[in-house]
Amino acid sequence: MMAKSSNDSSFSLSRRYFHFKNKDTNQGGNEDDHQVLTFNHLTPKHKHGIVSISKLRSAIAALGKARSDRVVGTIFGHRRGHVHFSVQQKKGDSKPTFLVELAMPTTALVREMASGAARIALECDRWSKGEMRKKAVLQEEAIWRAYCNGKKYGVAQRFECGAEEWRILRAVGPITVGAGVLPANGDVEEEEDGEVMFMRANFERVVGSRDSEAFYMINPEGVGGPELSIFLLRV
């Protein structure tokens, strides 16, 4: 399945917030692999502080001297569904190393990003000293408290990639950086949920400690865009 063209009427919602342009393909590479994303900047009606800001500040301070690498991040969800965040290694068709579903509606994240910046914090509880699982890998935590730009959005749950998630990730695999809408799969259940909105980009993964790491979306050089940061914190 391929994403619909930006000229298609089904892109009406995406066009409201997203603009596409292609890098100069004379520099080499396939044009489809060089689709980059810019955003309309809208003036927010309200500004929200980050929840648990002292915790985030401490985590960011630790992340400043941390090790980092680059990964491929995909945010997707049905129009009337919830936000999913997938992390893959540089090879975009690899199995996700981290896949989580937030209780946050997809349209709510679109609105937050239209303000110019979205900071998502996922928090889980630190294990007690007597528990052997205190050494568990942070990304393997199953349940998280979710916040975005200071607003609480219930919980987020980590899960293994299933057939439906694989279908979406493979459909957007050829896109290095971009956003758009995938048509419905044709079955009744998905038609009721609506088409799948997605955004795909490179992220810098920064590991501060076994209890903190972050993903920072990397905008292509020379292309303006919103800031998107996702923090994983064990508190």
Instruction: Count the Cβ atoms, other than its own, within 10 Å of residue 208.
Output: 23
pLDDT digits (tens, 9 = 90+) for 67-117: 789 999 999 999 889 999 999 987 667 899 999 999 999 999 999 999 889
**How far, in Å, CA of 121 to CA of 201, rounded?**
19
Instruction: Name the burial class of residue 116, with classes exposed (0-12), middle (13-18) and buried (19+) by CB atoms within 10 angstroms of its CB.
Output: middle
Q: Which tokens in the block code for residue 179? A: 């956003």
**How far, in Å, CA of 95 to CA of 75, rounded?**
15
Amino acid present at 114: A
Range picked from 62-76, 157-171, 211-225 for highest mean pLDDT: 157-171
pLDDT digits (tens, 9 = 90+) for 28-63: 443 333 333 333 332 233 333 444 545 555 555 555
**How far, in Å, CA of 219 to CA of 176, rounded?**
12
Q: Is the pTM of this model over 0.75?
A: no
Question: To which residue do tokens 């905008």 refer?
Answer: 219
Lowest-pLDDT choice from 133-147, 152-166, 195-209 = 133-147
**Contact yes or no for 109/164 (Cβ under 8 A):** no
